[in-house]
């Protein structure tokens, strides 16, 4: 099972902490964030990681190495200083021949307490070329951006860890429906068939993964999977502090 981690961004919201290091190397509970992330992936079925790097990427490569100490095989895709956007980074990985026929994709600042192996299994059973995990956010941690419908129109079940369904609409900009219609949020973990990248992401220029997922939702090609436990992120100082507390409490 392969997972792409998009970790090439400039991390401007975390300055000055990221003046000297990439965001994925920020310390969380005494260790670089990427250590926590890679160990979680390895414990939940991921065997191969494609680490998409850019800003201060050499530092990340030097720290992670080949991934063996995490129980993973790690391959690098380096955008250098010409960042191509989140979907553009996937297109570059495609061009370099490192993408599996299908793969998971997450972000280099997201810690997601979900079983990646089970998400992968649900994706394979969905019969669709893409899947997005979502969380019933209701505007609590960030702006809700997804309309999710449980399979068969069933009501939400708070006792279930994961709930299959479909993405009626994913729209970060609320350009197609009123903001009040959106009560779910992109959890930060998706699954894609490689052919989607080849078909829908241009070979040149910048491309945004959010725009790709929006298009897939309009086409009815995007399965949905509701995750019950909230996500964590280090994209803001507040998020970094919250994750530190969460990891410390779990020890």
Q: What is the DSSP string of the chain?
A: -EEEEEE----GGGTTTTSSS-GGGSEETTEEHHHHHHHHHHHTT--EEEEEE-TTHHHHHHHHTTSGGGT-EEEEEE-TTS--HHHHHHHHHHHTT---SEEEEEETTEE--S-HHHHHHHHHHH-SSEEEEEEE-TTSSS---EEEEEGGGPPP-TT-SEEEEEEEEE-TT--SS-GGG--EEEEEEEEEEHHHHHHHS-SSS---HHHHHHHHHHHT-EEEEEESSPPEE-SSHHHHHHHHHHHHHH-
Rounded mean pLDDT of the chain? 91
For residue 149, the domain's CATH number is 3.90.550.10
pLDDT of 152 reads: 62
Whether the pTM exceeds 0.85: the reply is yes
**Segments forming the whole domain that contains residue 184:** 2-250
pLDDT for res 153: 52
Number of domains observed in the structure of the chain: 1
Which regions in the chain score pLDDT beneath 50? 157-159
Q: What pLDDT is recorded for position 160?
A: 58
């Amino acid at each position: 099972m392969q997972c792409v981690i998009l970790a090439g961004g400039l991390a401007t919201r975390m300055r000055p902490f990221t003046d000297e290091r990439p965001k994925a190397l920020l310390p969380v509970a005494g260790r670089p964030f990427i250590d926590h992330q890679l160990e979680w992936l390895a414990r939940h079925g991921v065997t191969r990681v494609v680490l998409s790097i850019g800003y201060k990427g050499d530092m990340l490569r030097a720290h992670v190495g080949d991934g063996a100490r995490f129980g993973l095989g790690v391959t690098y895709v380096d955008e250098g200083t010409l960042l191509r956007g989140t979907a553009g980074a996937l297109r570059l990985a495609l061009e370099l021949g490192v993408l599996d026929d299908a793969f998971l994709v997450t972000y280099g600042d997201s810690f997601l307490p979900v079983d990646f192996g089970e998400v992968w299994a649900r994706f394979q059973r969905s019969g669709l070329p893409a899947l997005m995990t979502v969380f019933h956010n209701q505007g609590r941690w960030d702006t809700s951006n997804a309309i999710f419908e449980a399979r068969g129109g069933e009501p939400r079940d708070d006792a279930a860890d994961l709930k299959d369904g479909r993405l009626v609409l994913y729209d970060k900009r609320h350009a197609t429906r009123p903001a009040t219609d959106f009560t779910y949020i992109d959890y930060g973990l998706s699954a894609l068939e490689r052919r989607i990248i080849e078909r829908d992401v241009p070979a040149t220029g910048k491309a945004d993964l959010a725009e790709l997922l929006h298009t897939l939702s309009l086409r009815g090609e995007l399965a949905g999977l509701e995750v019950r436990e909230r996500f964590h992120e280090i994209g803001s100082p507040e998020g970094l502090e919250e994750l530190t507390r969460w990891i410390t409490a779990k020890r």
